[in-house]
Amino acid sequence: MNWGKKIAIVYLSFVGFMGFLVWKCLQQDDIHLVSQDYYQKELAYQDNIDQMNNTNQLSTQLKFDYVSESKTVKLDFPKESIGSTGKINFYRPADARKDFSLNLDIANTESQSIPVANLDRGLWVVKVSWNKDGKGYYKEEKMTL
Rg of the chain taking only CA atoms, in angstroms: 24
Q: What angle do CA 36, 27, 119 make, to 5 degrees?
A: 55
Same domain, 20 and 71: no
Using a cut of 0.95, tell me whether the model's pTM lies above it.
no
Q: What is the pLDDT of residues 73-99, one digit of tens each?
A: 888 888 888 888 889 999 888 877 888
Structural domain range at position 9: 1-31
Q: Choose among 71, 67, 101: nearest CA to 86.
A: 101
Q: What is the pLDDT of residues 8-33, one digit of tens each?
A: 999 999 999 999 999 998 887 766 65
The whole-number pLDDT of residue 6 equals 92
Same domain, 66 and 120: yes
Same domain, 80 and 53: yes
**Residue 133's domain is classified under what CATH number?**
2.60.40.10
Q: What domain count does the chain have? A: 2
Same domain, 47 and 110: yes
Q: Choose among 145, 97, 103, 105: nearest CA to 125.
A: 145
Same domain, 66 and 106: yes
